[in-house]
Chains A and B, each alone.
Chain A
Amino acid sequence: NAGVTQTPKFQVLKTGQSMTLQCAQDMNHNSMYWYRQDPGMGLRLIYYSASEGTTDKGEVPNGYNVSRLNKREFSLRLESAAPSQTSVYFCASGDAPSYNEQFFGPGTRLTVL
């Protein structure tokens, strides 16, 4: 039981490049989330998926797209990376009755030059 896994762990991009961050969970959760963590700002929700086939914007969705590929996988795509997207990205999953008790992946540290 691996919990929530994320790939890659580290990535460096040049401005304008694209990439996809992968996330998978093996806990059979319906809900999955993408957050970014920036110094002094805590974690901010980018997008979430309440169930397979649905996605919703969070607090900071601009510049990102997501895909809920199946129940296990939820990917985050940067179409044209910008330096402002330099951050640590965390994927999480959770489910009823404790939507609140989210389980987090190890994070992806992304630097955009």
Chain B
Amino acid sequence: AQSVSQHNHHVILSEAASLELGCNYSYGGTVNLFWYVQYPGQHLQLLLKYFSGDPLVKGIKGFEAEFIKSKFSFNLRKPSVQWSDTAEYFCAARDTGRRALTFGSGTRLQVQP
């Protein structure tokens, strides 16, 4: 079955620390990958997406993610987090033969000032 795994459930960082959130997926074929963010009290917003091409994808607010096909991974990174990055982050994947997304369980990021 298709699945997306996020191994970090709750991450606490200080401002200016670097961030890396793990995401692994289980599809064997062509897959599209995403990171969504949900700020407190708000709905999900797309941070970045990977369809094809350069495996290093840059998104909004200084986030980037690297697609490593051999590791079935799509980790999210940010060199220096800010207090405003406090949110829940969801990795998602779509088998290109399907319309719907499969989401990971989410990672709650807490950035302390």
* Chain A interface residues (CB < 8 Å from chain B): 4, 31, 33, 35, 40-45, 48, 50, 58, 90, 92, 94, 98-102, 104-107
**Given that A100-B32, A104-B43 are contacting pairs, would A42 and B100 also be in contact in the complex, using a CB cutoff of 8 Å?**
no
Is B34 part of the contact surface with A, judged by Cβ < 8 Å? Answer: yes
0/1 interface trace, chain B 28-67, chain A, CB 8 Å (1 if under): 0000101000000011111001010000000000000000
Instruction: Decide if the interface of chain A is mainly helix, strand, loop or mixed.
Output: strand
Are A41 and B105 touching (Cβ within 8 A)?
yes
Q: Within the complex, what minimum Cβ distance (angstroms) separates A22 from chain B? A: 16
Given A99-B99, A101-B34, list of 4 further CB < 8 A pairs? A50-B99, A100-B92, A100-B101, A106-B42
**Given that A58-B100, A99-B99 are contacting pairs, would A42 and B106 also be in contact in the complex, using a CB cutoff of 8 Å?**
yes
Residues of A within 8 A of B103 (CB): 35, 42-44
Q: Determine the distance from Cα of A68 to Cα of B44 in the docked complex, in whole angstroms.
A: 22
